[in-house]
Amino acid sequence: VCPLTDKKTIDKVRQTFDNYESNCFEVLLYKKNRTPVWLYMQVAPISNENDKVVLFLCTFKDITVFKQPIEDETTRGWTKFARLTRALTNSRSTLQQLTPMNKTEVSHKHSRLAEALQLGSDILPQYKQEAPKTPPHMILHYCTFKTTWDWVILILTFYTAIMVPYNVSFKTKQNNLVWLVLDSVVDVIFLVDIVLNFHTTFVGPGGEVISDPKLIRMNYLKTWFVIDLLSCLPYDIINAFENVNEGLSSLFSSLKVVRLLRLGRVARKLDHYLEYGAAVLVLLVCVFGLVAHWLACIWYSIGDYEVIDEATNSIKTDSWLYQLAISIGTPYRYNASGSGQWEGGPSKHTLYISSLYFTMTSLTTIGFGNIAPTTDGEKIFSVAMMMVGCKYH
């Protein structure tokens, strides 16, 4: 540090580092060729997740032109005021950057809140973010609107991950107007999300913010466009029509499973939460519940497929569905005078609760035995479920 630097400034710098504060100073340094350089120095403490300062971010801006106007060949003979005016005009961008950092901008709690709300794992750190020049119709991937929109898509994706397997396995036609309208709104929101993704910036391989519309569209078309498009098709509306035959209805119901591929995007966006202990615990509980729900739907589908032998049109008494129906007093009965099919049995609500109960006890290796696999298909699935459950222990 040059001796011309004020001693009070030097003491202020030392005090800033000792007290972990943010501040700004003007200091005079020398280059290797002994040329003096005035620098505007900004200091900001950076804290970790335990609110402990682990490093200081120091930025330096050259303000020599404001302290000592340089005389070159083009300004020789000018007055000192004229040279200063020319230097200020040529350094307008530097002048705009000399706004001191306030405490709100470097507040660790503020940055932690912003980081917690961001759903993108490729979000740049706060001190590296610079608002790029983007076209008017482009949306910055880290702006408040996009962050809020990502949370909405996240919630609707989990709703889809719960309802799609249930509707497919239990073969529910969406005749309920409320659920049909709700699912239609979800489809429209997913469709709007596709449009927004064509106009949202992303972080390139070099860490730069890509705002070129052509590059954004090509990147989205190569990655998630096909999956997002298949996930927003109105399968429920098509499946709700009464004149749709059973085979086509089953096809539309099966295609809805494609929506579960959206969970890949959720996993990519949530991976930066793994550094928080509480967040990891919540995510593990949610994943465990979601896996148990999926397995419950598969467990019911196996029982529903095997409980009635279509070749002989007879009931299989060793199926877990038949055993459950007998135990709760709602046995299956054959309607010979009417439809000529097997009717009765437990309600869908009871069947789902019983299936979820069985998968939960199997995944946690408790297994009370009141619901047990009996057929070969049920036993094979139970073995696979036990192998999944051992991963959680």
Per-residue pLDDT tens over the stretch 12-32: 888 888 888 888 888 877 777
Beta strands in the chain (DSSP E): 23-30, 36-47, 53-62, 202-203, 209-210, 308-309, 314-315, 332-334, 342-344
- Helix then strand then coil, in percent of the chain rounded to 5, is 55, 10, 35
Kindly state whether residues 139 and 269 are assigned to the same domain.
yes
Count of the separate structural domains present in the chain: 3
pLDDT at residue 99 tops 90: no
pLDDT at residue 103 tops 60: no
Coil vs helix vs strand at 87: helix
Kindly state whether residues 34 and 149 are assigned to the same domain.
no
Kindly state whether residues 253 and 301 are assigned to the same domain.
no
pLDDT at residue 52 tops 80: yes
Contacts for 254 with CB less than 8 Å, ≥ 6 apart: 168
Distance of CA 13 to the CA centre of its chain: 41
Kindly state whether residues 65 and 183 are assigned to the same domain.
no
In this prediction, residue 252 carries a pLDDT of: 59
Examine residue 364 and state whether it is found in any structural domain, yes or no.
yes
Examine residue 93 and state whether it is found in any structural domain, yes or no.
no
In this prediction, residue 147 carries a pLDDT of: 83
Top pLDDT among 66 and 138 is at: 138
End-of-domain residue from the set 236, 255, 275:
275
Confidence at 57, pLDDT banded by 50, 70, 90: confident
Kindly state whether residues 15 and 146 are assigned to the same domain.
no
Range of the domain at 295: 278-392
Paired tokens of 187: 């489809």
Kindly state whether residues 140 and 269 are assigned to the same domain.
yes
Examine residue 202 and state whether it is found in any structural domain, yes or no.
yes
In this prediction, residue 105 carries a pLDDT of: 45
Confidence at 352, pLDDT banded by 50, 70, 90: very high
Distance CA 329, CA 26 (A): 86
Distance CA 153, CA 171 (A): 25
Confidence at 350, pLDDT banded by 50, 70, 90: very high
